[in-house]
Amino acid sequence: MSEERNLEYLKVFWKSPDIEDAKHNKIIVGMNWDESINSHLPKILDSEINKFDRVLEIGCGIGRILKPLSFKFKEVYGVDISDSMVELSKDYIKEDNIEIIQNDGYSLPFDGDYFDYVFSLLVFQHLGSREMMENYVRESNRVLSSGGLFKFQAHRVSGLYTYNPKVDNYGFFGIGVDESYINAILNIAGFTNIDIRGDGKWLWSKAQKA
């Protein structure tokens, strides 16, 4: 699948007709919404980020994760490639310190050195090429201030898992990566203090901007 087709596919795949559908859209099988949020927050939050003020989520949907983060950060931002999700977020998000913006699937529409913390959850496995992931890693370094943290989760496999609608009706898995690849792209982007940990089929990576 070409990158252009992948982006168009993702925009359609993540399209939701209403807020209730978007809240539960293709996220955690077998969990209700509160359980899924509670299961992921500890992976996003840790003691290192308590001192931070500005946070950005890549692939935020309608802002399901951003809502609880609005009580911990002064400024909370999210980007998503789905115009449907961004539009629905206008009714779902009521907090004054949250802003959600549509992006192009490659770049982050913010000035450099702005955020203290950038993260992405259950998003990078949907990207259709390594170039897309590498762009997000570089962009995250650009928009982070010195000392800021970048944390993301990726699919821990080799090669490309291609979406098959006949057998995979609940999610699209794009690229799979391993520890050495993630370590390499974080280093190339200029990150330091890289920490990569395996969690079954997932890899959690954390790095700091110099």
Half-sphere exposure of 41 (CA within 13 A, CB side): 15
pTM for the full predicted model: 0.83
pLDDT category, 167, cuts 50, 70, 90?
very low
Q: What percent of the chain has pLDDT over 90?
A: 46
Query: For position 7, what pLDDT does the model report?
Result: 62
DSSP type of residue 162: P
Range of the domain at 164: 3-209
Say how far apart CA 105 and CA 132 lie, in whole Å.
7
Determine which helix (DSSP H) or strand (DSSP E) holds 155, and give its type and residue range.
strand 144-155
Evaluate if residue 171 carries a pLDDT over 60.
no
Is residue 128 classed as helix, strand or coil in its secondary structure? coil
CATH code, domain with 186: 3.40.50.150
Q: CA-to-CA distance for 81 and 163, rounded, in angstroms? A: 19
Mean pLDDT of the 102-126 span? 93
> How do residues 32-49 score in pLDDT, each as one tens digit?
555 666 677 777 887 778
Structure confidence at residue 128 (pLDDT): 76
- The total of structural domains in the chain comes to 1
Question: Where are the alpha helices (H) located in 14-110, listed in sequence order?
Answer: 19-24, 33-44, 66-69, 83-92
